[in-house]
Structure 1
Amino acid sequence: MAAPYVHAAAHRKSSSGDRPNRARGNRPPLPLLPDDALHNIFSFLHIEDAVRTSVLSRRWRSTWTSTTHLVFDGFRPRNRDPRSLDFPSLVGRVLSQCTSPTVKKLHVTNFKYRHRYRPKLDLWLHFALGRRVEDLRLWLITDQWTRYTLPPFFYCSSWLVRLEVSWCSFRSDETIWWPCLKFLSIEDADLDDDMLGRIFTGSPVLEFLKLGRCRYVKNIIIDSTSVKDLVLIGSKNYSYSYMGKIWAPHLLSLRVSGTWSGPWLCTHIFRLDDISSLVEAELVFSGRTSLFEWMYCNLLKELIDRLCGVPKITIGSWCWKILSSLEMKGVSSLLSKCQSLILRTPISQLHLLGIAYMLRSSQCLERLVIHLTGVPRLKFLKWGIHVQEESKGSCNYDEEDFLCSRKESFQCLVTHLNQVEIIGFKANSLGSKHVLTLIKFLLGNTFTLEKMIIKADLRARNGQKRLQAILSELLAVRQNVLGYQRASKNAEIIFDFPLQLASF
């Protein structure tokens, strides 16, 4: 099988001058790479691609069988030849030929599970735990009636370090023993409070926990001193997302995402009890807009009050809408220790109200970061005619006059705020009237400002004509901003634009 390699090298020589002379050097031909190097390459491939390397060299025909990284994806396009194996048969065939005494990684993702596949899944897990797997991922595709019940031997593994499962059921009578587990992600699972407590007891070094749409979990009680990060993902179905309380006195980071909705006329979705060690919180969730406005106002007001001692807070777009409503009503909160505030939101008149609310609440704020996102298509706050009319009326105002009328209550502008970052994923978002008004206000009224960074993080590829238009828009933004008055003599304005624009 050396001929194809030689042919390819000859072709490169004829088409690229002296390039092969630089490439040859002391590098061995690909088929002569040592096994350690090959296994490192295989660790970045799906197992099907690793198997295909067997045709490249006689020596490689069985090399893939000793790989320690096995990754199977049910969504990958496959040969439609009727002789090709279906996904369960493919996984079984590969595992049966695996010769490595240990397996570091086994990932089975996007597998359309049915009850008839349960024996196969049991065998796969038995294989993984028998080979001392460290990184196990089992992401299934099914419905709430056909979840895979994890077998009894699954709950005891002395080697697991990272575990991710979805659409599985945990047996309520099993004892957990995962002494090396540090990362645990459970989504769309049947899991109750008692089993969650057993997981904490049997995982003494667990550091990261993600719970997504786990029905029957009502109270999260984390008395473990090792668990530092908690991620909660809500569901549109309130029976999944309604919880009682979160008690985690040693937790350092909390992220709440997804869609949360409580029972009708419920005053809260979950309650934060003891989170006294928390240093970072992310509220990037949304709610069902069919519920009354006051429910979500009360929810977010309660959450903000409970986060008063957290130094770093991130808030998403939907929550900003609720904060805008609180600003309309004159409701106040106090984030006494918030030093870093990150906003992921578009900037409109409505969102300026939410920004005013947080500036008024964060008296010790030192760093403000705004990630400009797209304006959602849904109408703002679909809670009823009353709120829609109130929103329309509240948005008919002059933004600059409004911010100036509130500046006396923005104590952070006078005493602490020293850095502002505004990041736009589209050039026109940075140049919008509302964004420029906010930039002008912050520059003109922040006496402690040391640095303002305006960044255009343009990820999409653009042609030459589009680059010209983008450059023109960004230059206009730069010209406008540099003309604004600065309250701080030490304020430095930094424009962070893509290299392709800077060199255009």
Structure 2
Amino acid sequence: MAETSIHRKSSGDRPNRTDKANPPPPPPLSPRDLISALPDAVIDRIFSFLPLQDVVKTSVLSKRWRPTWTTATDLVFDGEIVARLRSTLDFPSLVDSVLIQYTSPTVKKFSVIGFEYEKAHRPKFDLWLRFAEGHRVEELSLLLVPTTDPPTPYILPRFLYCWSWLVRLEVWVCCFSLGRTIRWPCLKILVIAISRLSDDILEGIFRGCPVLESLELWGCWGTKNIMIDSTSVKELVLIGLCDSNIQTIWAPHLLSLQISGDWEPHAMLRLSDVSSLVEAKLDFSIRVLTDLPSDEMMCSHMLKETFQKLCGVTTITIGAWCFQKLSLLEMEGVPAPLSICQSLKLHVDIIQWDLLGIAYMLRISQCLEKLVICLTGLPLSMYSLDEESKESFNYDEEDFLCSRKGNFQCLAKHLKRVEITIDNFGLERLLALIKFLLGDALALEKMIIKANLNMGHGEEHVRATILSKLIVVSQNMLSYRRASRNAEVIFSHSFK
């Protein structure tokens, strides 16, 4: 950008006879505006990485850039940002103003985010989608915010169902119409959130999206059976489905399954055929309305049935709530199906009873090669046990693990790598497990322990105390006997 420097002599400056003989040196040449010299395509590419409001701001910096935002390939309208800017225009008027001035024939991405949708806005949204249709938008996102309970959804217009060029679609608080024929031959990614669905709607989606690869359902309701016979769908993500008992998930060609979020009380989940799965993540929780141990065991047995369908999965992640329910199965001595899992990630708290869950997973995972443990700090109240059960399992951690090691076949041949991540100082609770794994994992090659410690404001004075504890713990850990001569122990810590 060109810059100009102007110096004016003050009225009080005294004349200098040598001014004419020795004129002041000329001002340095201003640096060239290299960005404006770039081709239009390059500038458009640079601006494509900026939010639309920042692209518009560049127009005050250079005349060369003023029309650039009108040809941006990505149009992202964020209602929250507009509210913070306290614009004189309301959000719909701002969108209209941008679309009127837009000159490019095509748009790659069109997004409306964080807008509080009401039924009266429907005609406006229909017009915006007509604009998107005319510019052959490939990635469409309508992330609306509900203003009522139950939410009033935006009914997707009929012309949207035949966008043959659409590649990615994400809709929140939107309604799919029954009886509409969907024709999205290029759609690969579909995300639906806070929406009423049905088995028929899902069937129509799978039938009309021949190359769909990933489906995500967030906080949706109304679905009872998820039947995916498409060979292209490889990923299914279910997060916090409301008021739903998934009676059947039938997806014989699915490769990745993720179930997470908070589910409604008494929610049920049944896997039918997921025989091609190679990766599964179970990180959900079900709100139990009572503290009865029988309700806890009902959830545990549901998880046991789920694991029976995952016995052929090689990579598994288990969240804290699910892990604690598996601990109850070990407590009750419930037989478990063997798994060919090779990579296992556990989110745990490592209280005394959590060792039961670790024992359960080591017992069924005979081919386990990699074990990752992440401490979560989940409260003890997640367990609902009667006094007899609590008394029965008031055991010594080292004695418990040693008594079960004959059941852990993975320790003899397969377990090669262990990673443990600790957010707050909890390494002392892991020492029994670390000592056991180092002493019995014959094929272990590397154990990595990372302590990421959160320091609150004004707590810097305790850093030295924590460091001294870490040093003592790490010294104890490094002195443990190692069953594998090749085992390398790496210990690191950081303060946040």
What's the TM-score, normalizing by structure 1?
0.86
Return the offset for 1:179: 1.1
Could you say what secondary structure the match of 1:379 adopts? helix
Richer in helix (by share): 1
Q: Give the Cα–Cα distance (whole angstroms) in 1 for the partners of residues 284 and 153 of structure 2.
A: 26
Distance 2:439 2:322 in 1: 27
Q: Which residue of 2 aligns with 1:476?
A: 472
Corresponding residue for residue 379 of structure 1: 381
In the comparison of the two structures, how many residue pairs are matched?
467
What is the aligned counterpart of 1:439 among 434, 442, 458? 434
Deviation track 1:305-359 (CA, whole Å, cap 9, x = no partner) reads 1111111111000011101111110112123311111111221112111111111
Q: Contact conserved, 1:242 with 1:260, CA < 8 A, in 2? A: no
Asked whether 1:487 is paired with 2:483, we answer yes
1:51 aligns to 2:61 (yes or no): no
**Aligned-partner Cα distance in 1 for 2:473–2:69:** 54
Counting only pairs closer than 5 Å after superposition, residues 401-440 of structure 1 correspond to structure 2 as 401-426=399-424, 428-429=425-426, 431-432=427-428, 434-440=429-435
Deviations 1:234-289 (A, max 9, x none): 24x4x2x31110000000000000122464xxxx7121111110001100000112
Residue matched to 1:253: 256
**CA–CA distance in structure 2, aligned partners of residues 30 and 199 of structure 1:** 45
Distance, in Å, in 2 between the alignment partners of 1:470 and 1:41 is 46
Question: What value does the CA root-mean-square deviation take over the aligned residues?
Answer: 2.6
1:13-32, aligned counterparts within 5 Å?
Answer: 28-32=33-37
Contact 2:2 2:33 in 1 (8 A): no
Matched, 1:103 2:113: no
Aligned to 2:40: 35
Which amino acid letter does the alignment assign opposite residue 172 of structure 2? S
- Measured at CA, do residues 127 and 458 of structure 1 come closer, stay the same or move farther in structure 2, by a change above 3 Å? farther
Check 1:391–1:379 CA distance in 2 against 1; reply closer, same or farther (3 A cut): farther
Instruction: For residue 423 of structure 1, report the CA deviation from its aligned partner.
Output: 1.6
Alpha-carbon contact 2:108-2:136 (below 8 Å) kept = yes
- Report the alpha carbon displacement of residue 135 of structure 1 after superposing the two structures with TM: 1.3
Q: 2 CA distance for matches of 1:315 and 1:229?
A: 17
SS of equivalent residue, structure 1 residue 454: strand
C-alpha separation between the residues in 2 aligned to 1:401 and 1:79?
Answer: 59
* Correspondence 1:208 to 2:214: yes
Question: Could you tell me which residue of structure 1 aligns to residue 390 of structure 2?
Answer: 392
Aligned residue runs from structure 1 range 180-191, under 5 A: 180-191=186-197
Between structure 1 and structure 2, the one with the greater Rg is: 2
CA distance in 1, matches of 2:456, 2:59: 36
Cα distance change, pair 480–40 in 1 and its aligned pair in 2 (3 A): farther
Amino acid at match of 2:282: L
Residue 72 and residue 302 in structure 1: after superposition, are their counterparts in 2 closer, same or farther (change >3 A)?
same
For residue 91 of structure 2, what is the aligned residue in structure 1?
A: 87
Deviations 1:417-471 (A, max 9, x none): 1211112233x13x22x21111111001111212211123568899976765565
Alignment check: 8 A CA contact 1:334 1:362 kept = no
Which of 360, 367, 381 is the matching residue for 1:357?
A: 360
SS at match of 2:136: coil
* 2:137 alignment partner, one of 126, 133, 137: 133
**Rounded Cα–Cα distance in structure 2 between residues aligned with 1:175 and 1:114:** 26
Give the distance between the partners of 1:171 and 1:153, measured in 2 at CA.
12
The corresponding residue for 1:275 is: 274
Q: In the TM superposition, what is the alpha-carbon distance from 1:395 to its structure 2 partner? A: 4.9
Question: CA separation of 1:362/1:138 partners in 2, compared to 1, >3 Å: closer, same or farther?
Answer: same
Identity of aligned residues (%): 56
The reply to whether residue 448 of structure 1 matches residue 443 of structure 2 is: yes
CA distance in 2, matches of 1:333, 1:57: 68
Match 1:165 to one of 162, 167, 171: 171
Question: Bigger shift: 40-49 or 461-470?
Answer: 461-470
Residues 310 and 339 of structure 2 are in contact (CA less than 8 Å); yes or no, is this contact kept in structure 1?
A: no
Counterpart Cα distance in 2 of 1:38 and 1:334: 58
Alpha-carbon distance between aligned partners in 2 of 1:226 and 1:202, rounded to the nearest angstrom:
12
**Any residues of structure 2 matched to 1:325-344 within 5 Å, and which?**
325-344=328-347
Q: Which structure 2 residue ranges, 5 or more long, are not aligned?
A: 7-27
1:1-53 Cα deviation digits (max 9, x unpaired): 8448x79xxxxxxxxxxxxx9x97xx843444432333223222221221111
State whether residues 438 and 480 of structure 2, in contact with CA within 8 Å, keep that contact through their aligned partners in structure 1.
yes
**Partners of 1:260 and 1:360 in 2: CA distance:** 28
- SS of 1:314's equivalent? strand
Going from structure 1 to structure 2, the CA distance change for 1:395 and 1:155 (only over 3 Å counts) comes to same
* Cα offset, 1:145, TM superposition: 4.0
Name the CA distance, whole Å, in 2 between partners of 1:446 and 1:354: 18
Q: Aligned residue for 1:66? A: 71
Partner of 2:155: 149
* 8 A Cα contact 1:307 1:335, kept in partner: no
The aligned amino acid for 2:109 is: K
Q: Provide Cα deviations, 1:49-106, integer angstroms capped at 9, x if missing partner.
A: 211111111122221101011111111264666x711111111211221111110111
Quickly say closer, same or farther: Cα 1:460–1:194, change in 2 above 3 A: farther
Aligned letter for 2:433? L
User: C-alpha distance in 1, partners of 2:454/2:230?
Assistant: 41
User: SS of the counterpart of 1:455?
Assistant: strand
Instruction: Identify unmatched segments of 5+ residues in structure 1.
Output: 8-20
Residue aligning to 1:17: none
Q: Give the AA of the match of 2:40.
A: D
State the distance in 1 between where 2:453 and 2:232 align: 39
> What is the CA-CA distance between 1:480 and the residue it aligns to?
1.8
Q: 1:217 to 1:439 in 2, by over 3 A?
A: same
| 1:360–1:409 CA contact under 8 A, matched in 2 | yes
Give 1:124's match in structure 2, choosing from 104, 107, 128. 128
Q: CA deviation at 1:487?
A: 1.1
Aligned-partner SS, 1:325: helix
Using a 3 Å threshold, how does the CA distance of structure 1 residues 289 and 70 change in structure 2: closer, same or farther?
Answer: same
Task: Measure the CA separation in 2 of the matches of 1:396 and 1:104.
Answer: 60
Partner AA of 1:381 in structure 2: Y
Determine helix, strand or coil for the equivalent of 2:341: coil
Q: Which secondary structure state, in structure 1, belongs to the residue aligned with residue 482 of structure 2? A: coil
- Partner Cα separation in structure 2 for residue 305 and residue 133 of structure 1: 43
Helix, strand or coil: the match of 1:75? helix
| 1:133-161 superposed Cα distances (whole Å, 9 cap, x missing partner) | 11111111114341111000111112211
